[in-house]
């Protein structure tokens, strides 16, 4: 008996579908490879920096299934703690993860605990602090709870700039063992490309917020008195802020008293679109007619 075998060729639609599936598979593999390569090229790019332990920090240290090794302690001024079985351990400047590993290695190497699982929790941050002084809503010292705390974070903790505060701040501290001072224009931080102005805060930094520049207006105006000098404020804008000139006042009688570099006061007659300076005193005279 002769046997025969029949071979069926796939139809054109089936061949097209198979080719499409193969192409999609190769594209998916290529995309996955690109993602893995990008992740390998940026190790830890998304991992935030850890807080570094400092003197005065209060810690809770626990060792799993070893209640007798549970400890609440404060880091000394020299960055040292005293831990059961291990004695004095220097953890100042380490992250919590590094401190956990240091203690675990000591317990394992000393044959105290076979496979120690150590947890370090920061209960109070005292070792790394920065101060905010001047015209803010809540001046004082604040803990630096994260290694990537920025200027705006610290200002937010202090309740933000007060109504009487200026827009230019002064940050002082130390960097690389050298005195450090930086003037920062706060509105520029929120402008395009201003992220560089939002600097990282380090232990011991002090932010000083000066009182906002002021001008003073008196004479024949509706609301005489001091007023905040806004950026770019002109003489006309200051008069408008003061409610305008009264019916007895005259624009021809407006004089600006300005203190010069030598401390002497000059009396100026400025055009209405001229900008004012901090400390200017605007006087509006009474009309003679």
Written as tens digits, the pLDDT of the chain (289 aa) is 444 433 434 455 445 445 544 544 444 444 444 434 444 444 434 455 678 898 888 999 999 999 999 999 999 989 999 999 999 999 998 989 999 999 999 999 999 999 999 999 999 888 889 999 999 999 999 998 877 889 999 999 999 999 999 999 999 999 988 999 999 999 999 988 888 889 999 989 999 999 999 999 999 999 999 999 999 999 999 999 999 999 898 888 899 999 988 889 999 999 999 999 999 999 999 887 6
Contact yes or no for 239/276 (Cβ under 8 A): no
Task: Report the pLDDT value the prediction gives residue 1, as an integer from 0 to 100.
Answer: 43
Report d(CA 65, CA 107) in Å as an integer: 13
Distance CA 273, CA 264 (A): 24
pTM above 0.85, yes or no: no
Note whether 62 and 118 are within 8 A (CB).
Answer: yes
Tokens of 70: 């549970």
Pairing assessment for the beta strands 281-286 and 214-219 based on DSSP bridges: parallel
Overall residue count recorded for the chain in this entry: 289
Enclosing H/E stretch for 132: strand 129-134
- pLDDT confidence of residue 8: 39
Q: Phi, psi at residue 26, to the nearest 5°?
A: -65, -40
Task: Identify which of 208, 205, 206 has the alpha carbon closest to the alpha carbon of residue 186.
Answer: 208
214-219/206-211 β-pairing: unpaired
Q: With 0-12 CB in 10 A as exposed, 13-18 as middle and 19+ as buried, what is 62? A: middle
């Amino acid at each position: 008996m002769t046997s025969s075998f029949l071979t069926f060729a796939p139809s054109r639609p089936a061949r097209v579908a198979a080719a499409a599936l193969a192409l999609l598979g190769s594209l998916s593999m290529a995309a996955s490879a690109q993602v893995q390569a990008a992740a390998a090229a940026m190790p830890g790019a998304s991992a935030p920096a850890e807080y570094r332990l400092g003197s005065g920090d209060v810690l809770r240290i626990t060792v799993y299934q070893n209640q007798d090794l549970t400890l609440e302690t404060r880091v000394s001024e020299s960055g040292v703690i005293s831990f059961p079985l291990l004695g004095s351990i220097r953890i100042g400047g380490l992250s919590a993860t590094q401190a956990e590993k240091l203690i675990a290695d000591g317990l394992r190497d000393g044959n105290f605990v076979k496979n120690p699982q150590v947890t370090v929790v920061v209960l109070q941050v005292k070792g790394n602090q920065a101060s905010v002084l001047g015209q803010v809503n809540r001046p004082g010292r604040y803990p630096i709870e994260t290694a990537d705390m920025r200027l705006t974070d610290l200002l937010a903790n202090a309740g933000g700039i007060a109504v009487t505060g200026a827009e230019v701040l002064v940050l002082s501290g130390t960097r690389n063992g050298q005195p450090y001072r930086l003037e920062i224009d706060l509105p520029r931080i929120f402008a395009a490309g201003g992220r560089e102005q939002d600097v990282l805060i380090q232990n011991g930094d002090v932010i000083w917020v000066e009182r906002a520049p002021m001008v003073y207006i008196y004479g024949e105006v509706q609301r005489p008195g001091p007023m905040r000098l806004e950026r770019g404020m002109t003489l006309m804008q200051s008069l408008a802020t003061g409610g305008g000139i009264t019916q007895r006042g005259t624009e021809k009688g407006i004089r600006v008293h300005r203190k010069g570099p030598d401390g002497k006061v000059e009396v100026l007659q400025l055009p209405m679109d001229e900008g004012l300076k901090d400390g200017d005193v605007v006087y509006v005279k009474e009309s003679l007619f």
